[in-house]
């Protein structure tokens, strides 16, 4: 945690970092990086399944029956690409592929927690 401000009290979500002043949704902004990693329908639910332990393709399909194979495949590939998941081929019959969270991926726990907290808190404005 080195991004925190030193000159004045920390304002949540507003670290004293040059990237906190971007005026465009540039990919170098940490917030954009995270949202990109979690981007796409079903992605957070897939991550949630992994927070409960390693999973194979088939197990995920059973846990999320409404998710099509193609999209599941896309999500797993995406999450692997951004360093959230590790992919392990299992030799043998039938061939299965095992996915696990990387340490980096495991750190998404607090992120989902924060998203959950805000959404779980009732908004007086929303009808």
In the chain, which ranges are E strands? 55-56, 85-90, 96-101
| Contact pick of 16, 20, 54, 98 for a second copy (by CB under 8 A) | 20
Helix, strand or coil, per DSSP, at residue 9: coil
Q: Are 56 and 97 in contact (CB under 8 A)?
A: yes
| Contact pick of 5, 51, 77, 88 for a second copy (by CB under 8 A) | 51
107 contacts which partner out of a second copy, DNA, none, CB within 5 to 8 A by kind? a second copy
96 contacts which partner out of a second copy, DNA, none, CB within 5 to 8 A by kind? DNA
CA-to-CA distance for 8 and 22, rounded, in angstroms? 20
Instruction: Judge residue 47's burial from the number of C-beta atoms within 10 Å of its C-beta, 0-12 exposed, 13-18 middle, 19 or more buried.
Output: buried
Evaluate the omega torsion of the peptide bond into residue 127 and state whether it is cis, within 30 degrees of 0.
no
Looking at beta carbons only, is 26 or 93 nearer to a second copy?
Answer: 26
Q: Are 3 and 15 in contact (CB under 8 A)?
A: yes
15 binds DNA (CB under 7 A): no
| Contact pick of 38, 46, 76, 101 for DNA (by CB under 7 A) | 76
Looking at beta carbons only, is 93 or 121 nearer to a second copy?
Answer: 121
Contacts with a second copy, residue ranges (CB under 8 A): 1, 3, 11-15, 17, 20, 22-25, 29-35, 37-38, 41-42, 44-45, 47-48, 51-52, 63-66, 81-83, 102, 104, 107-121, 123-126
């Amino acid at each position: 945690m080195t991004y925190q401000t030193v000159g004045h009290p920390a304002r949540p979500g507003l670290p004293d970092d040059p990237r906190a002043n971007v005026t465009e949704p540039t990919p170098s902004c940490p917030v954009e990086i995270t949202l990109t990693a979690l981007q796409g329908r079903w992605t957070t639910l897939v991550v949630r399944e992994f927070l409960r332990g390693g999973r194979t393709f088939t197990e995920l399909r059973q846990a999320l029956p409404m998710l099509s194979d193609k999209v599941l495949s896309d999500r797993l590939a995406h999450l692997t690409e951004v360093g959230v998941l590790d992919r392990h081929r299992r030799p043998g019959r039938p061939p299965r592929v095992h996915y696990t969270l990387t340490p980096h991926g495991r750190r998404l726990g607090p992120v989902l927690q924060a998203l959950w907290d805000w959404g779980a808190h009732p908004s007086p404005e929303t009808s």
